[in-house]
A = this chain, B = another copy of it.
Amino acid sequence: MKNYNIAVVGATGLVGREMLKILKERNFPIDNLRLFATSRSAGKKINFLGENIIVEEVKEDSFENIDIALFSAGSSAAIETAPLVTKKGGVVIDNSSAFRMDKNIPLVVPEVNGSILTNKETIIANPNCSTIQMVVVLQPLLKKYGLKRLVISTYQAVSGAGKKAVDELLAQSRSFLNNEVIKKKNFNNQIAFNSIPQIDVFLENDYTKEEMKMVNETRKILNENKLAVTATCVRIPVIFGHAESVNVELNQKFDIEELKNELNNFKNIKVVDNPGEEIYPMQTDTEKTDKILVGRIRRDYSQKNSVNLWIAANNLRKGAALNTVQIAEYLIENNLIN
């Protein structure tokens, strides 16, 4: 079996570190591993399987002989750095929003649309965290019943905004409990013991960028360009795990038990749903699993062919780092990489 030269760009961030953990856990076939970050972190050493790897700053010729570069360094770094990889013949799998809506770049959740990948890819985009966990759940429903309209409200963890945001929630919570002044830095507003109905910037249409990612990325990944989608994205004082309340209108009638089976039989979904025992998915459950958890599955009696779902998943793993690594694995398993 062949091993590959891998680069991780943004290796010191929350998602970058999760990528390294996942590469280890899954025995990813690595020959040589190179780690990159901004000048601020360059020179740091990160231990990987017993070896201390020095974090480097990206240079013009950094990606010589790199087969796959996993990026989690934000949009502007991605736009700047991706060409340095591709001109050397490597494939970029990028976690930022820079390339996601580019018609020529595949936006991939392997178990949903991995089959669109070819051996000609140069850049592959990893979708937004809140979109990934939802499209996996929607895919078996699309295949079986067809999708008509989605009404989404999210309950998103602060870790989606990076390590600084996690530190800020913890610091604000501590200040609150000690009756001290609450300091704001990364969030415009207090996030401890509060909800903020804004993730990412506002767009012309009064939706946030996060909300429009859920609309546009969902359509692209599911290859359903006219799917009706509306979203409200909300940051809540949770550290890890995104949850979503999703109201789904299907194209045809369904049996609720059959629908639960369709979900449970799909790859990487776990149905956690027993109202009699008060069992349903929660964000705290997502720390222990790489599966996407779905529960509170119940017919929506307000409209025909409709169902309510509550979806929770690990935003740093399936929502980011894990899906990125799974795309790389898909390329390798399907001989789409040299």
Residues of chain B within 8 A (CB-CB) of A193 are 237-239, 283-284
Residues of chain B within 8 A (CB-CB) of A297 are 206
A236 interfacial contact with B, CB 8 Å: yes
A167 interfacial contact with B, CB 8 Å: no
A280 interfacial contact with B, CB 8 Å: yes
Residues of chain B within 8 A (CB-CB) of A155 are 155, 195, 234, 236
Q: A230-B302, A296-B232 are in contact. Are A284 and B243 (CB under 8 A)?
A: no
A53 to B186, CA, bound (A): 48
How many protomers of this protein does the assembly include? Answer: 2
Contact assessment for B239 and A198 in the assembled complex, using a CB-CB cutoff below 8 Å: no
Residues of chain B within 8 A (CB-CB) of A189 are 282, 284
A63 interfacial contact with B, CB 8 Å: no
A276 CB contact (under 8 Å) in B150, B202, B215:
B202
A170 interfacial contact with B, CB 8 Å: yes
Q: A153-B245, A177-B170 are in contact. Are A230 and B197 (CB under 8 A)?
A: no
In the complex, how many angstroms separate the beta carbon of A109 from the nearest chain B beta carbon? 22
Contact assessment for A196 and B282 in the assembled complex, using a CB-CB cutoff below 8 Å: yes
A228 interfacial contact with B, CB 8 Å: yes
A248 to B177, CA, bound (A): 37
A34 interfacial contact with B, CB 8 Å: no
Can you give 15 A-B contacts (C-beta < 8 A)? A149-B302, A155-B236, A188-B278, A193-B237, A193-B238, A194-B282, A195-B282, A197-B280, A197-B296, A198-B278, A205-B298, A207-B298, A228-B302, A230-B302, A234-B245
